[in-house]
Structure 1
Amino acid sequence: MSAPSRSKIRPPREGEAPAAAALVIGAYLRAVRLARGLTGSEAAGTIGCSAARLSRVETGRLHWTADATDLLERYGIDDLPSLTAVEYLLQGPHRHILSDHAPGWLDRLHACLRQAETVVIYSAFSIPHMVRIPTYPTDSLTQRLRGGPVRVRHAQVTVDNGEGVTLVVDELALERLLSQPSVWSAQLSHLRQLASSPQGPRMLVLPLDVGMIPPASLMYGMTLHGHVMVAEEGIGFVSYYTGDEAAQRCHFLSAALDAGLPFEQAVVGRTA
């Protein structure tokens, strides 16, 4: 395999939001390290750097692409497609926009979600994967594109770990679920259980009569290492936004939060 690139990544200027790629790759590196059971000091020693420098890398202050690829190789991810994907993402032309459809894209998204201090999830057309029951219907194309090797733990919202998570489901998603009577009752019961748990997520339903035009993708607004980032998940890819690019999408999420109804209030009387 060829030597890793030594390309330099420009650090953010004073007051500037971090590059989306640096935040995403940093979170991914930390998730892989934890999955391998390594402490920060142990991982730093494998590439001859300090634990403080590793911490900066993992929190979005990554200055060299080779730091990322060196760490991945030490963690056992040494196949050319994975290493090339990380180099490609870090060398993208837009600092505050990152489109990730490279191998491992879903792992990188879940690494960000698991490490985020707060997360707002908005879905207009289906129940998000993080709160679905196992029998929820999924089309074969989505299953294939979300497949592949899983190298980090994927985020799953439960009755015990939902603090800091807000789920906003468009009423349209519930209407679509009504057309699946075989899973409606069990999925609704699961969502109610999440909504009623003191440690569960905050659950809201956005009424159709609000008139907001929903995005075509699943949207995540998160605070990651103190920085605001928005992710939009499509079929087989995810796009990330920081800085001013994230601000306009945060405006939509804020409006959805303001207009949303408490879950139990919104689903009263609904039956399959």
Structure 2
Amino acid sequence: MSKERGVTLRAQWLGQLLRDLREQKGFTLKDAGEYLQRTGATVSRFETGVYPIRRVDTAALLDLYGVEDPKHRDMLLQLAGELWQTGWWESYADDAWSSTIDLAWLEDRAVSLRLFAGMVVPGLLQTREYALALFSATSPDMSAHRLTRGVDLRQERQQILHRDTPPQITAVIDEAALRRTVGSNDVMAGQLRHLRQMMDLPQVEINVLPFELGAHASPEGSFALIGLAAPFSDIAHSECPGGAIYLERTGVDRLVRVYDQLRGTSLDAEKSAAFLAALEKDLS
């Protein structure tokens, strides 16, 4: 069933960058609108992401704001082009929340991903069987088509792990996520085996946060830190039943400190692999 997409993260992101440039130069919305032969209200909609700005209008505003640095201009113009381009993730737009589409877009751009999983295995490291069982439990009323499409999207997101220049992934996984049986013992054993196989990839590191360490730095739940190439700043992503939350700047800085604490108290790679192997053996 099709649904309205709404405002996308990338449109909001570019809009905020253009707003910052306008305000730094002291231009009003009316000034920018008159330069584009539009209204100030239209420029406002560009800046809030309500209406994605086109590349030609972005180029005109960069001229008005005096942005001459080639790298800066190219970065903003590339982002403007991406507002209207159709990436692989767009084929799922009718079957997934817009926040999930935004996440797939960010992951595709990422140079690093730092993940903390408190309750379930991170989506990028899930087997198909685990994802199917998880979706079935969290959305029991979902149609078979939507269920399959949701799992397909999660599987396709994982292709970033196998591209020529994959992002560096470090994942801290709480023991609770590893001991909770999702689907069946066989499904869970397969998931644990998959995690150990993923640890053989040079771009993937997994650290287990065991119960014996007691309270930890993120009792509120899971989150992801998405590292992007310069000049973009890192973004933090967190999900809850009410939807997804994206944080920048100070919010990211706080979560970086939390992540470093979690990783610093977790088991190293060798001990984590042994921990996963022991849990898998218990399920066989």
User: Which TM class, normalised by the smaller chain length?
Assistant: 0.5 to 0.7
Q: Can you give the 5+ residue segments of structure 2 that lack an aligned partner in the other structure?
A: 1-14, 25-45, 63-69, 88-92
Secondary structure class of the residue paired with 1:135: helix
Change (3 A) 1:250 1:9: same
Secondary structure class of the residue paired with 1:246: helix
Structure 2 residue 24 is the aligned partner of structure 1 residue 9: no
Change (3 A) 1:158 1:74: closer
Q: 1:242 aligns with which of 248, 251, 264?
A: 248
Structure 2 residue 102 is the aligned partner of structure 1 residue 108: yes
Q: Is the 8 A contact 1:166 1:203 kept in 2?
A: yes
Structure 1 residues 17-63: Cα deviation after superposition (integer angstroms, max 9, x where no partner): xxxxx9xx8xxx9xxxxxxxxxxxxx95798769963522556xxxx
CA distance in 2, matches of 1:108, 1:209: 36
Which one-letter code corresponds to 1:167 in the other structure?
Answer: A
Larger-gyration structure (1/2): 2
CA distance in 1, matches of 2:22, 2:252: 16
Partner of 1:264: 273
Q: Is the 8 A contact 1:194 1:200 kept in 2?
A: no
Structure 2 residue 134 is the aligned partner of structure 1 residue 138: yes
Partner of 1:88: none
Partner of 2:8: none
Structure 2 residue 55 is the aligned partner of structure 1 residue 55: no
- Aligned pair count reads 207
Q: Is the 8 A contact 2:111 2:167 kept in 1?
A: no
Change (3 A) 1:243 1:13: farther
CA distance in 2, matches of 1:128, 1:44: 35
Partner of 1:171: 175
Aligned pairs (5 A) from 1:24-43: none
Q: Give the drift of 1:269.
A: 2.3
Change (3 A) 1:57 1:240: farther
Structure 2 residue 184 is the aligned partner of structure 1 residue 184: no
Q: Which moved more, 1:220-229 or 1:247-256?
A: 220-229
Structure 1 residues 126-151: Cα deviation after superposition (integer angstroms, max 9, x where no partner): 1112111111111444485996897x
Secondary structure class of the residue paired with 2:20: coil
Q: Percent of aligned pairs with the same residue?
A: 17
Give the superposed CA RMSD: 4.2
Q: Can you give the 5+ residue segments of structure 1 that lack an aligned partner in the other structure?
A: 1-5, 15-21, 30-42, 60-66, 77-81, 83-101
Structure 2 residue 197 is the aligned partner of structure 1 residue 193: yes
CA distance in 2, matches of 1:217, 1:205: 15
Query: Which one has the bigger helix percentage?
Result: 2
Change (3 A) 1:164 1:73: closer
Q: Give the drift of 1:154.
A: 2.7
Which one-letter code corresponds to 1:267 in the other structure?
Answer: L
Structure 2 residue 204 is the aligned partner of structure 1 residue 207: no
Secondary structure class of the residue paired with 1:154: helix
Change (3 A) 1:179 1:213: farther
TM-score where L is the length of structure 1: 0.60
TM-score where L is the length of structure 2: 0.58
Q: Give the drift of 1:235.
A: 3.3
Q: Give the drift of 1:114.
A: 2.0
